[in-house]
Copies of this chain bind each other. A is one copy, B any other.
């Protein structure tokens, strides 16, 4: 398959996603101890119910996934083809698993969404809670160390680089905070560069804003903001 062929038609994606589905199920099935546990605990007939559910969910998410793929290709000068993104980009893999696990979580399926997200986390270093809400398309580059918390909300066309945390401001009250919105809201067309940390359930990043690398932010910024690290806080000396 050439790149241009991929550009002309996305129709092969459906058959590839079917392969992914098989791959995903293989990956899960291989971990027989967990499957047995889930079967005993939840009476999930893994080979029927869940396969059907995942098939339906993949059908539901396929349009979003196609948009994500295109957005990755447009956003990354290092990508030589869409198939390279599909087969080798951890950010795309983590986002794909998120879109599936988010739908599973919406259907009130327990543990499996988190198991899938931690599977993706272990493969990619990208930790996206299935309950987070991520608009479409989204672009995640490199990705190692990214944390997107349970109650985070992201708009469309958001770009996120490695090491970014969208986290909670304080966890001092621990599990009393279950269900409370603790993670930030990110507008449309926002770019967040490497290792930026944005915390808090009331923190809102306005549309079209850019957050620079290593920035630490715990309060809201309006639309069209550019937040960059002041370079005055480093010392240069001779050895």
Which A residues lie at the B interface, using CB under 8 A? 1, 19, 23, 33-34, 37, 41, 73-81, 83-84, 87-90, 110-111, 114-115, 117-118, 121-127, 129, 141-142, 144-147, 149-150, 159, 161-163, 165, 167-168, 171, 174-180, 182, 191, 194-195, 197, 199, 208-210, 212-219, 221, 224-239
Contacts and interface: CB of A to CB of B under 8 A. Distances in A.
Nearest to A224: B239
Interface of A is mostly: mixed
A221 B217 CA distance: 24
Contacts of A199: 213
A34 to B, nearest CB: 6
A207 to B, nearest CB: 11
A88 B214 contact: no
A143 B56 CA distance: 33
A165 B34 CA distance: 32
Given A124-B122, A224-B239, A74 B174 contact: yes
Contact of A144 (B144, B217, B226, B236): B144
B214 A214 contact: yes
A225 B216 contact: no
B226 A177 contact: no
A228 B234 contact: yes
Nearest to A222: B238
Contacts of A159: 171
- Ordered nearest first, which 9 A-B pairs have the shortest CB separation? A77-B177, A88-B118, A78-B150, A145-B145, A125-B144, A214-B216, A144-B145, A233-B233, A77-B178
B216 A229 contact: yes
A228 to B, nearest CB: 5
Contact of A162 (B34, B90, B145, B234): B145
| A1, A149, A191, A194: residue with the most chain B Cβ atoms closer than 10 Å | A194
Given A76-B171, A123-B122, A197-B214, A235 B239 contact: no
Given A76-B171, A144-B144, A236-B221, A165 B227 contact: no
A122 B234 CA distance: 33
B129 A145 contact: no
Nearest to A148: B142
